[in-house]
Structure 1
């Protein structure tokens, strides 16, 4: 039996797509092995958000071919899409595929010879249809990621993704619901709706309420207990959207609302589509509906032209928003984006200091949010045993609190009622309510 190995870099969308390709190979009779083992074919699903992702992809490609010269190496994903010729020039690459036509990957691998090179990257900006790739099973996971949308029309000045993924394409509702039903039948209790720009779902259908209609359809599926929305744009949360969302009880009280900066000047330079005042009003509206909701966000420090005053504005705004957690990124120039050519690039030492200050603030806000729930009973979906705390299993509440519980019985995949007792590192220790 032939063997295939996968190596995945980057986001949850990449992980979903790797799983979809894995199932295609399994249906064709392949055995999936670890990427450290000898295989007949290696599929490298690349990331290009930063140049570090490109570098990691190149390193893995060279190592694979050096160890397995007769294998077929297929490079897919965002790096392959944006730098197809560069990837083709890497010694050992056989197939370069990009971010479309991946449902044909088995055919290309089987037709390719070890000394052959095939470039099948097309012009992603001309693609208008969502590429249907389905997932039925995600090994070792209790929450299923479900891709509902592809592409982005935002063109933030620091981001390469619109050029790697193309324009917005939405998945048909009937295909989404069919996949959710399959996942539920396979034992999943939570689905996480993901995509490149989830808030744009349905824009290409010209349907105003497409995302809400999909959520209603998913909500009606028996056996599913949780629906989680991944990263969202603040502008999605209109009064109408919030009103309709609030009656869908399976929707988790956790939203990741991208901010990126608390400085008006920097937001404008980034080509973000909101002001800090608009963002503030949206957060206030969300909290009127969901008073104890977990709101998380992303912040970029050291964007070109960011002064100490700009950073101070960001710091104070983040503090005011009282997020439950934040992800902090140091800006790095991405070739092919407008911001890479901006003047006033910020030096590394300043980026590092600003990053550390925000990370510390984020930790303080996380603890403050966790403390609100100590002594309460929450439902926890358990995922895996805790590596550095023997005998404990970890899981998530619907508002994204990580909870650890000691139990002699296996808990993975179950939702149990847990009393929350004390904070331990970034988690909360709890006990099962008998």
Structure 2
């Protein structure tokens, strides 16, 4: 099967090179599998029937696995499909076609993808698979007979969907340029822009499959990224997440570096912090030479004092086997320098338990490192051998030992109480979403500590001053004191309109759902791997945000109905009381009618008395 690019360049029939963004007629622009159109009649019932509807009128279900970069890709694909007229739905049964954006970081994600593909095939739904799995493992058996769009082909998703709906199998996997940043986008959260600053990486980790899919480092220009930041702020975005497989490696292929980009972005951010910047996952090797510059950016009032720096192991021998290109002492230098130079600095890290060759002594060094820093966020995962990687050929640690080490490290991490002492403090937070319990709103401090508050949905997208009322293991709880004006940072009194956080068991309250960090790294919220929710159509988006969780949604509705019923009863009682207290106000017509009724009654009474005599 040919890739579409083979048909577009040279003798592909399109008259030479095609200008970026130019959309050819479908017949010339999409490579069609010739075998798909020659199937025997007896097999026709086993494949999705070609759609006879007008392109752009069907319903699309999008499912996303993996990192924030994948989430951004899905939002771009959803935006293009929506702009072309397709309806986006979060209900797979109602959809005419499924689009699955895949992750190849860990086996569980790929297994979930394979289950979903099987379900789609059984439902005889047309299917398009995107993301790292088909890009890095294009010969996977589960992808036979399935249309594929590569990680750098997301700007061609409309054409792939059109041809797939017609019953054709299409594959786009080869590309020499990066997709444009100004494509239409449907964000999962309208207040958060996930901005990919580069694709691929410079590393060669022995366990990583993502490099096979995302490839070598390719960076967007500083100018294009700054223009995108300006554009999304004009759209009302309140948080910008810089995302990539390795943020720290940005620009080394085009003669710039991460501090240059950060300085350029910070220069266009509002100085009063109405829009916040979050710097994405950064491996130690590429920020060691820029620590002071990055610390200076992290101190800026419009930048979260938070950085995700994966260490993966506390043992230098294991790091060498992983080919991580740094030592434990270099990780310590990164952490110690940032903590010393940035007030309230919060660092998250990753650990892989049971990497091939890890001894009990190696693992003990990892435990000691985690105990030393007592970081509030540590993403712990067991080693999963990815096919085609060097680590998959290494001698494995027994699975029971891997599980035991994972449980032991998790217990150590969960014994920390990182937020103790915050009770009573007043913090500024930025509120962008609902918690998964469907009751609380989620805000973050400048150190990106999660704060759960209660309040109306209109508080989403605002910044507020809160008093911390209680702390849990994964979040803190606050009472909103004041909402800050976005225009000039003036404090506006909201006058106790917001109730105190009312979680009876703070540790049981849900964390916010966030995508996993990019590339080779793994992430979790409250120690559990998360899947990213699908982008949805604009018409369904507001209802989705207000009902993140069915039980939570019911609780919110029940609370509102109870309050409405109570208010109605009180109002009715007040009306009754007022009616009894008021004196009748008779107008002339009322008096005449009442007199007529009285005369009639007296006449009838007189007749009865007369007849009775």
Same fold (TM over 0.5): yes
Per the alignment, residue 7 of structure 2 pairs with: none
Which secondary structure does the structure 1 equivalent of 2:139 belong to? helix
Per the alignment, residue 162 of structure 1 pairs with: 211
The 1:51–1:222 alpha-carbon spacing in structure 2 relative to 1, beyond 3 Å, is closer
> Which has the larger share of strand?
1
Per the alignment, residue 301 of structure 1 pairs with: 353
In the alignment, the residues of structure 2 paired with residue 243 and residue 51 of structure 1 have an alpha-carbon distance, to the nearest angstrom, of 36
The 1:135–1:177 alpha-carbon spacing in structure 2 relative to 1, beyond 3 Å, is farther
Which secondary structure does the structure 2 equivalent of 1:433 belong to? strand
Which secondary structure does the structure 2 equivalent of 1:335 belong to? coil
In the alignment, the residues of structure 1 paired with residue 140 and residue 255 of structure 2 have an alpha-carbon distance, to the nearest angstrom, of 37
User: What TM-score results when the alignment is normalised by the length of structure 2?
Assistant: 0.65
The 1:41–1:416 alpha-carbon spacing in structure 2 relative to 1, beyond 3 Å, is same
Per the alignment, residue 336 of structure 1 pairs with: 388
- How far is 1:244 from its partner? 4.5
Structure 2 counterpart of 1:73, from 107, 114, 127 = 127
Per the alignment, residue 290 of structure 1 pairs with: 342
The 1:254–1:321 alpha-carbon spacing in structure 2 relative to 1, beyond 3 Å, is same
The yes-or-no answer on 1:234 pairing with 2:284 is yes
1:170, 1:202 within 8 Å by CA — same for their partners in 2? Answer: yes
Please, which moves more after superposition, 43-52 or 6-15? 43-52
The yes-or-no answer on 1:33 pairing with 2:81 is no
Per the alignment, residue 211 of structure 1 pairs with: 258
Per the alignment, residue 221 of structure 1 pairs with: 268
- How far is 1:300 from its partner? 0.3
Structure 1 counterpart of 2:243, from 187, 194, 197 = 194
Deviations 1:366-385 (A, max 9, x none): x22x1243322211122334
The yes-or-no answer on 1:105 pairing with 2:160 is no
In terms of Rg, which structure is larger? 2
2:469, 2:477 within 8 Å by CA — same for their partners in 1? Answer: yes
Per the alignment, residue 180 of structure 1 pairs with: 229
- How far is 1:419 from its partner? 1.2
**What stretches of structure 2 of length at least 5 have no aligned partner?**
1-56, 483-613
The yes-or-no answer on 1:254 pairing with 2:254 is no
Which secondary structure does the structure 1 equivalent of 2:197 belong to? strand
2:259, 2:294 within 8 Å by CA — same for their partners in 1? Answer: no
How many positions carry a matched residue from both structures?
A: 420
1:152, 1:161 within 8 Å by CA — same for their partners in 2? Answer: no
Structure 2 counterpart of 1:355, from 385, 391, 406 = 406
**What stretches of structure 1 of length at least 5 have no aligned partner?**
none
Deviations 1:57-92 (A, max 9, x none): 22212212322x3x431111111112212257545x
Per the alignment, residue 570 of structure 2 pairs with: none
- How far is 1:221 from its partner? 2.3
The 1:424–1:36 alpha-carbon spacing in structure 2 relative to 1, beyond 3 Å, is same
Output the aligned Cα RMSD. 2.1
Which secondary structure does the structure 2 equivalent of 1:191 belong to? strand
The 1:140–1:206 alpha-carbon spacing in structure 2 relative to 1, beyond 3 Å, is closer
- How far is 1:240 from its partner? 4.5
Of structures 1 and 2, the one with the larger relative CO (CA 8 A, separation 6+) is: 2
In the alignment, the residues of structure 1 paired with residue 333 and residue 279 of structure 2 have an alpha-carbon distance, to the nearest angstrom, of 20
1:7, 1:44 within 8 Å by CA — same for their partners in 2? Answer: yes
2:295, 2:338 within 8 Å by CA — same for their partners in 1? Answer: no
The yes-or-no answer on 1:142 pairing with 2:196 is no
The 1:277–1:409 alpha-carbon spacing in structure 2 relative to 1, beyond 3 Å, is closer
Per the alignment, residue 277 of structure 1 pairs with: 329
1:136, 1:186 within 8 Å by CA — same for their partners in 2? Answer: no
Deviations 1:331-380 (A, max 9, x none): 0111111011112x111221122112222222233x22x12433222111
User: What TM-score results when the alignment is normalised by the length of structure 1?
Assistant: 0.90
